[in-house]
């Protein structure tokens, strides 16, 4: 199983942001480093969900937010290593749509928000055409 090292303070920021955005899907980018032992998240970069029709169950990252994340990562000798998002009133498992837009090699933490309260966070990595769960460590 792959490992995602997500410090508690960054995990808490993801959860707080996801809860504040409920009932919409909320998203952001992970900045960090990848090595043979997994992914280490060093910072979060905010991203706006600009999906034109279905923000309650879809997200689309504002392109400028992605470009800004790449620039910030490069300035700190990091790289974009993934995307986190929330699933309002759904489990923290990737959807068919999540799979359609996922990139191999990135981490995809999903936080489940039920009635405005976070109830779980799990992370996934695309292996071929299938998501595999990553172990999330502080």
- Is the entire prediction scored with pTM above 0.75? yes
Q: What is the CATH number of the domain that holds 11?
A: 3.40.140.10
Number of domains in the chain: 1
Length of the chain: 138
Q: What is the pLDDT of residue 115?
A: 96
Scanning the chain, the segments in alpha helix (DSSP H) are 8-21, 63-75, 96-101
Q: What is the pLDDT of residue 7?
A: 98
Name the token pair of 87. Answer: 């699933």
Residue span of the structural domain in which 93 resides: 3-137
C-alpha distances out from residue 51 to 12, 24, 122, 128, 130, Å: 25, 10, 23, 26, 24
Question: For every one of its 138 residues, what pLDDT tens digit does the chain have, with 9 covering 90 and above?
Answer: 799 999 999 999 999 999 999 999 999 999 999 999 899 999 999 999 999 899 999 999 999 999 999 999 999 999 999 999 999 999 999 999 999 999 999 999 999 999 999 999 999 999 888 999 999 999
Phi–psi pair at 10, nearest 5 degrees:
-75, -40
Q: What is the pLDDT of residue 1?
A: 79
Distance CA 8, CA 138 (A): 6
Q: What is the pLDDT of residue 52?
A: 86
Q: Does the CA dihedral 80-134-44-78 come out positive or negative?
A: negative
Are 124 and 132 contacting, i.e. CB atoms less than 8 angstroms apart? yes
């Amino acid at each position: 199983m792959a490992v995602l090292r997500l410090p508690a303070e960054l995990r808490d920021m993801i959860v707080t942001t996801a809860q504040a955005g409920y009932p919409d899907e909320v998203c952001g980018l992970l900045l960090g480093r990848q090595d043979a032992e997994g992914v280490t998240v060093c910072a979060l970069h905010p991203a706006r969900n600009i999906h034109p029709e279905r923000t309650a169950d879809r997200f689309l990252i504002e392109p400028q937010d992605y470009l800004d994340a790449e620039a910030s990562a490069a300035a700190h000798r990091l790289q974009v290593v993934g995307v986190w998002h929330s699933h309002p009133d759904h489990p923290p498992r990737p959807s068919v749509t999540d799979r359609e837009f996922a990139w191999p090699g990135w981490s995809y933490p999903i936080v489940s928000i039920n009635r405005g309260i976070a109830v779980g966070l799990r992370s996934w990595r695309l292996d071929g055409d299938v998501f595999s769960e990553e172990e999330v460590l502080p």
